[in-house]
Amino acid sequence: MKEEIHTALTDSEFFSRPVSELQRLAKRLVKSPDLIGRAPVQCRIAVLSSFTTDYLVELLPLILMRQGIGGVIYQAPYGAMITEILDFESGYHSFKPQVTFILPSHRDLDHQPAIGAPAQAVQAAIQSELEIWNRVWQHIQTPIVQLTFDPPPFRPLGEADGLSAGGLLHHVRAINLNMSDDAPNHVCLIDAENLASRIGLDDWHDNRLYRLTKQPFAMAALPVLADSLATSAVAALGRSRKVLVMDLDGTLWGGAVGDVGVEGIELGQDTPDGESFIAFQAYIKSLKGRGVILAVCSKNQEDSARAPFLQHPEMVLQLDDISYFAANFDDKAQNIRTIARRLNVDTSAILFIDDSPVESAWVRKMLPEVQVLHLSGDPAEFTARLDALQPFPTSRLTEEDLARSASYGAVLQTSKGIANSDDIDSFLRDLAPQVTIESATEETVDRLTQLIAKTNQFKMNRRTFSPSELMADHGHVVAIRFKDRLQDYGIVAVVVMQIQDESLVIQNWVMSCRVFSRRLEYFTRSIIGNIAFKAHAKSLQLVYTESKKNKFLGDVLPLMGFSYVEEKDIFESMATAPIDMLDSFITLD
Amino acid sequence: MTISSQDRILKHLTIIFREIFDDDDIVLTLESTADDIEEWDSLNQIKIILECEKFFQVKLKARDIRSLNNVGEMVDHLMRLRVY
């Protein structure tokens, strides 16, 4: 039972579930007060409305839990929205709520101006409507989350209903705008018209349900409405997230900069994906403009990661937008802990975005309090998906928000972190990684040629091969295809070998940076060892030409049994791999 | 209208009731009323009808929803809507 609730709460497709199922889960949750008691934030919430809120209040505990809030909820009696607030002896005041949800409706509006009324009359009408609300707000000292007036279901004045004085929709819009200007700081408004539009006005309005039970919107609208209330409650309690930690490759631009260089990344007007990444960066930049702190967490060499910021003409985000820049090959959970520490925030204040399902799963597992958005699929959807989360809720732009991003401007260095090796081992094992060994074929030879030519980081030397060389029979060419439970990476490594006098010569060995930190190099080393054994070769040899990009190989080679032989200027190893090589948990398909 | 239609509707209604009240022990007969099930109030009545509409792919009128006071009447109404 609790398993089912937990699965639902962490389901990224939570809002696709039918509302009847969510209602059932909410009922279940309420039967487990100990579960609710374990939520990181306990909160007393009062709900007051001029319409029926029974179904909303039934669903709220589940929606609040999803945002980490264990709520004790007071529901005011039907029709007593204003009176309960104005009367200090009421059940509402005795309940002593920490957050108050107020849900009025356009049916409460009393002073709709006549058609064609002059501007003064319209303003007078608005002031009359707001008078009662100013009184109401004064009677409450704690945060209020209030729904603005909802759009009416009918437009008897046609298009003029929303655009000209005399229309009810126009009156609703005018009040909502004025309310936003007039409301004191402790009132957070939720834009009801926008909420209804997102669902679709036809799906939002339910006139039959209103007649039957006095709930003006459809059951299907309940989860999204409840979620907006919960999100604003999070902001009102000061618990909204503050930091956006971003991956780079595949998230802010297309392609892996370590593999293809600054010129090779997709960012710019010439491709649809390139345009999507620019739009995504622009959206993130506007988040920063209103106080969200940005940090980078990328598995790349630092100079590769910074290069696009420094050199690519289409980058929207600049280095001085980034408050913390972590580019290294250490695990991302550890990096995120460091980022939190250096920025002086709790990890629960962080939203992490990454296109890799593996990195997303790892961070979710190691840091459950970090919100993780796994950006899969079409980059054209990235902005919408991030926006839909509304992870940095605020309805009031405060001076504080705007100043915050400036004060975090300093770009700091990351320190090396140490992850718990048991956690990494079990995580890698759970991914069920699998390798298929292939030889060069008509279909794959172009990919292999390109991989060898374009890879910069894991590459032994500068030697490249033509397709015909790879297809020829004289040497051994091994292509490594890699996949795991979450993703199929395709062909990610190539080893080109030749037997010379009882030694297996590795003419070159490349591996895509996409599969760094998967220990695939150790598995490949074992494969090479087996090939040498079958060919009766007693040793392995390779030429390692150090460059700016592949410097780290100098540390990796000894771990695979290679040592430098100065007289021949090569690296040599026994055929068999060292016994103490790291376990990759990879199986052979 | 055959007896088996009625039985089938009753069977599906039972599934719906069990889901909505989160109680696998609920047993419905044509005579069952709100007195037999504790949480069966007007609010849950709405949920039951909405589920029926979704499952049987029908739409009831507001006045009909309010008038269905026991399971027998619900089954009759659904049969009249030719759900089976």
Question: Look-up: residue for tokens 């949800």?
Answer: A101
- Give the pLDDT score at A202: 92
Nearest Cβ partner of A24 from B19, B62, B65?
A: B19
Domain with B28, as residue range(s), is: 3-80
d(CA A329, CA A307): 17
Calculate mean pLDDT across residues A361-376.
91
When pLDDT is cut at 50, 70 and 90, the band that residue A391 belongs to is confident
When pLDDT is cut at 50, 70 and 90, the band that residue A187 belongs to is very high
User: Does the pLDDT value for residue B3 go beyond 80?
Assistant: no
Domains observed in chain A: 2-236 (3.40.50.1110), 243-419 (3.40.50.1000), 428-588 (3.40.630.30)
Instruction: Please provide the average confidence, as pLDDT, over all residues in chain A.
Output: 90
Q: What is the pTM of this model?
A: 0.73
Instruction: With CB atoms and an 8 Å threshold, state whether A219 touches B50.
Output: yes
Chain B interface, mutation test: which of A17, A20, A53, most B Cβ atoms within 10 Å? A20
Q: Report the range of poorest mean pLDDT among A1-10, A87-96, A297-306.
A: A1-10
Calculate mean pLDDT across residues A572-589.
91
Nearest Cβ partner of A213 from B19, B22, B46?
A: B46
- The structure tokens listed for B61 are 């009128």
Calculate mean pLDDT across residues A225-254.
93
Chain A interface, mutation test: which of B24, B48, B50, B64, most A Cβ atoms within 10 Å? B50
Nearest Cβ partner of A27 from B22, B43, B54?
A: B22
Q: How many Cβ atoms from other residues are within 10 Å of residue A358's Cβ?
A: 22
How far off is chain B from A10, nearest CA to CA, in Å?
Answer: 22
- Give the pLDDT score at A414: 33
Highest mean pLDDT among A47-61, A118-132, A431-445: A47-61
Three-class SS of residue A439?
Answer: coil
- Give the pLDDT score at B82: 77
Calculate mean pLDDT across residues A152-157.
94
Nearest Cβ partner of A212 from B19, B54, B65?
A: B65
Which residues of chain A have a CB within 8 Å of the CB of B55?
none
Calculate mean pLDDT across residues A568-581.
93
Minimal-distance CA residue of chain B relative to A53: B43
Of A495, A506, A512, the residue nearest A455 (C-alpha): A512
Calculate mean pLDDT across residues A232-258.
92
Instruction: With CB atoms and an 8 Å threshold, state whether A211 touches B51.
Output: no
User: Does the pLDDT value for residue A120 go beyond 50?
Assistant: yes
Contacts of A486 (CB under 8 A, 6+ apart): A357, A358, A361, A431
Which residues of chain B have a CB within 8 Å of the CB of A55?
43
> Domain with B49 in it: what CATH number?
1.10.1200.10
Q: How many domains does chain B have?
A: 1
3-state secondary structure A14-80: HHHCCHHHHHHHHHHHHCCHHHHHCCCEEEEEEEEECCCCHHHHHHHHHHHHHCCEEEEEEECCCCC
